[in-house]
Structures are given as structure tokens and as C-alpha cells.
Structure 1
């Protein structure tokens, strides 16, 4: 314990005081993270960045090369031998 909290180990600082310091540090860290996230969120919502309209937000062909429609697979089903199925399940 002396390596991590030398003042607590030597008796200069009480353990409950050290716990309070760490709790306050956690609150400050979370507050800074939330404030930073809010600031970045507001910056990204500025119209200068040109967000796409909601009608095309889920349209992948704008940003990616999308393959065309696939032909139907009618009549291309394969029969499975039941003996092979039984071997696999046991």
C-alpha cells in the first residue's frame, strides 16, 4: 500500500480523506468529459458541416459502392440427404 498511497501508509492522511479525494476526482473527470462531449456535439451540429437530410441518412449508395439487385433463386434449392443429416446431429 505504501507504493500506491504513501501518505495513507505513513499515517499523514486518513483513508476516508483519501477516498473523498478520489470521489471528488471522479466527479471532476466525469464533469469534464460531459462538458467536452456537449461542446463537440454542438460544434458538429453547426450547419457549416452540411449534415445530410433525414430522408437520405440511411442510403448507403451515396457513400459506398453498392451491388445491384440479386436475381431470384427459384428452383435452385438443394436436397439434403437425410443420412448425412443424421450423422451430423449424432
Structure 2
């Protein structure tokens, strides 16, 4: 009975040294790219956390202008501004 571990040894014995070195280099580069992606993702979330808080609430009062999708326009007002 030949186990899977035996196949791994056979494959390693028949693989040239150059190919093994190349595969090891690729594995190292892949691990490095994952670490770099993780660091950039963390930095991006930290910047987003400080520049745009998710729980920020606005107090709109009567008379403030707000952007609406379908504003009821009066004469002289632009399309993007309408009374709340």
C-alpha cells in the first residue's frame, strides 16, 4: 500500500532543484504580498475611521437646504436644492 506521503517523497525526488527553488521563491513572494495587502487594508480602514465617522448625526432645522432626489422646485431655485 502506497500512502500519500510516499507520493510526496517521490515527487520531491524527481523534481529538479531549480524548480523547487523557484516554487519556494513564489511562496515567499505570495506570503509577502498577502502581508502587504493586509497592511494597506488596515491603513485604509484607519483613515476611513478618522475622516468619516459612521455614527455622525446631523441636526437639520427648518429652513435648511438639503439635497433631494425629486425636489419640488419654486421659481428661482436650483434643481439640487429644496426646502426640507
Per the shorter chain, which TM-score range?
Answer: 0.3 to 0.5
Higher strand fraction: Structure 1 or Structure 2?
A: 2
Higher RCO, Cα 8 Å, sep 6+: 2
